[in-house]
Chains A and B, each alone.
Chain A
């Protein structure tokens, strides 16, 4: 039989051959991470049941006649669920607008929302805004692609091959302890204010979350499923493709989502310190001219970008993990 490091866990003689039972680990991880499970008797004596493994809501009538759902609080109507998330932002915006209008909030500290909007349209009219946004997006895309690709590659390698683990894991774990932003001065010394330091820093910030989660994901794949695949005659490549990779996917995607946040954060720092364009440069330039409206605009642009990145990964998760009860839309099969 050829060497199959992927399966080492399985081949060691087990002291107790009956220790086979137990829930598949991969499923348990996915379920825990969602954090929605609520079960057990609540303080007020009502019984709340949680989301079941098959993704259906456990229902049962409470003492007061309402249906019990996976939530501890009472169920919200559909419109409430759709509009609810916007209540707090709208409230903040209203308070912001009123205080700015009455003069309680000096424009030097925080300009009114309409002033920020005007700063945006002014910059958009000259084409500057679009240029800065596109530059930042390009840097994120390049850095993220580089970092995520390397992280996935090395993560799958180390997760599946004992040799790769022995060779690489220790070194990578050592590099990981260095905060990647500490490399900013070195990067500037090496590359000046060109594109390389920004893209490389973003790549570095992206790499570790993706790498670590990929290794964890591969290790977390249920060894029983691997044993099954082997007993069904799957070769090494098909074990990887059909069992290891899909089994690791929930954890890998969590890492990718997290790394996108790190990527934006890294880009802010890199662009603020050394750049001649990009959203971070816009904020830095505005600071020198005391244009708080433009600074706030830049901050809001980052927030929007982060929001869209998160939405995108959620969409990908929903598509890739549609088999997983916790990621499924209610009502789908």
Chain B
């Protein structure tokens, strides 16, 4: 059920833009427990970075700090935009979080006035041109996540934060969503941070894969494979095995093991 996507009409920008992210000594404490410890990280503008790690490794916390939904207990998180305005970050969650009392189109328009045409074009781009009037309860899980993606993209965020956005979808729908996401990312210059439990998803989509363990970065992989059909690539397969070993035996993912 991969949606047949019309060309979005947006010219592909060769030199990618988006926000630069700098984390310096970022830590986050809940009670006595440090979920993130002294994290240093630079993310290049326009890159697609995925975070893997066991549950409770601080992936979602990191995303919420970057989104400004939480304050770090220590250190600083900075976003540098390409323009004069502070860069805008938009987040997509595992649950679609659509407002059930708004139609799909009005959900896309959350927090903006006017721009209805643009919202329709985005719904068209995610393959839901004819579902703009539908209530969220009448949409499937994959369709709802596509509405949520359109809603995030309407703001032209320079940073897109994805917290396991496809975790609740079935395998087929998930692959369709991954393709859609990659396509939208290739069309529009922006930095993407993706938190996922799916190692293959991270490897297929990302320029860089980070493994978080015990609140700090364990492994830091640059994925320099050509985009398009990475799925069967032998290097991807060997990376996948390595990463899975890391995740199953967190001890070997200590800094310096990579």
Contact B102 A323 (CB under 8 A): yes
One of A17-25, A127-135, A284-292 contacting the partner: A17-25
Q: Are A249 and B101 in contact (CB under 8 A)?
A: yes
Give the B interface residue count (CB, 8 A).
35
- A residues near B64, Cβ cutoff 8 Å: 17
Check B30 against A55 for contact (C-beta < 8 Å).
Answer: no
Those of A205-259 within 8 Å (CB) of chain B:
224-225, 227-234, 238, 242-243, 246-247, 249
**9 nearest CB pairs, A to B:** A232-B111, A246-B101, A323-B101, A228-B97, A13-B30, A17-B61, A325-B137, A323-B135, A54-B137
Q: Which residues of B contact A (CB under 8 A)?
A: 29-31, 33, 35, 55-56, 58, 60-61, 64, 67-69, 90-91, 93-95, 97, 99-102, 110-111, 133-138, 151, 155, 163
- Is A16 located at the chain interface by the 8 A CB criterion? yes
Residue of B nearest to A23 (CB): B95
Q: Does A176 contact B (CB under 8 A)?
A: no
How far is the CB of B108 from the nearest CB of chain A, in Å? 11
Check: A180 CB closer than 8 A to any chain B CB.
no
User: Per-position contact with B for A304-333: 1 when CB-CB < 8 Å, else 0?
Assistant: 000000000000000001011100000001
Interface flags, A267-288, vs B, CB<8A=1, else 0: 0000000000000000000000
Is A162 part of the binding interface, using a Cβ–Cβ cutoff of 8 Å?
Answer: no
A93 at the interface (CB under 8 A from B): no
Q: A15-B31, A21-B95, A234-B111 are in contact. List 12 more A-B contacts (CB 8 A).
A: A17-B35, A17-B58, A20-B93, A55-B138, A227-B69, A229-B110, A231-B68, A231-B69, A238-B111, A242-B110, A243-B99, A323-B102
Contacts of A15 in B (CB 8 A): 30-31, 33
CA distance A246 to B91 in the complex (A): 22
Specify which chain A residues have a CB less than 8 angstroms from the CB of B69 in the assembled complex.
Answer: 227, 230-231
Contact between B99 and A225, CB atoms less than 8 A apart = yes
Cβ contact of B95, chosen from A24, A233, A234, A247, cutoff 8 A = A24
- Contact residues in A for B95 (Cβ distance below 8 Å): 20-21, 24, 224
A229 to chain B, nearest CB (A): 7
CB-CB contacts below 8 Å: A1-37 with B? 13-18, 20-21, 24, 26-27
Q: Are B60 and A17 within 8 A (Cβ)?
A: yes
A88–B35 Cα distance when bound, in Å, is 64
Which of A24, A228, A242, A243 has most B Cβ within 10 Å?
Answer: A228
- A selection of 6 A-B contacts at a CB cut-off of 8 Å is A15-B33, A17-B56, A21-B94, A234-B110, A323-B136, A325-B137
Bound Cα distance A16, B60 (Å) = 11
Interface status of A53 (Cβ within 8 A of chain B): yes
**Roughly how many angstroms separate A230 CA and B70 CA in the complex, as a whole number?**
12
Q: Do B135 and A333 touch across chains, with their CB atoms under 8 A apart?
A: yes
The closest CB in chain A to the CB of B111 belongs to A232
**B58: which A residues are within 8 A, CB to CB?**
17
Q: Say yes or no: A20 contacts B60, CB within 8 Å.
A: yes
A303 CA / B69 CA spacing, docked (Å)? 53
A208 to B111 alpha-carbon distance, docked (Å)? 34
Residues of B within 8 A of A234 (CB): 110-111
In the complex, which residue of chain B has the Cβ closest to the Cβ of A232? B111
Distance of B142 from chain A, by nearest CB (Å):
14
Residues on B with beta carbons closer than 8 Å to the beta carbon of A55: 137-138
A27 touching B100, Cβ below 8 Å: yes
Q: Which of the residues A21, A24, A26, A231 comes within 8 Å of B67, measured between beta carbons?
A: A231
Q: Is A54 a contact partner of B155 (Cβ separation < 8 A)?
A: no
A246 to B163, CA, bound (A): 26
Within 8 A of B (CB), among A67-96: none
Tell whether A333 pairs with B90 under 8 Å between CB atoms, given A27-B100, A238-B111, A246-B99. no
Compute how far the CA of A24 lies from the CA of B67 in the bound complex, rounded to whole angstroms: 22
C-alpha spacing A229/B111, complex, angstroms: 8
| Per-position binary interface string of chain A over residues 166-195, scored 1 when its CB falls under 8 Å from any chain B CB and 0 otherwise | 000000000000000000000000000000
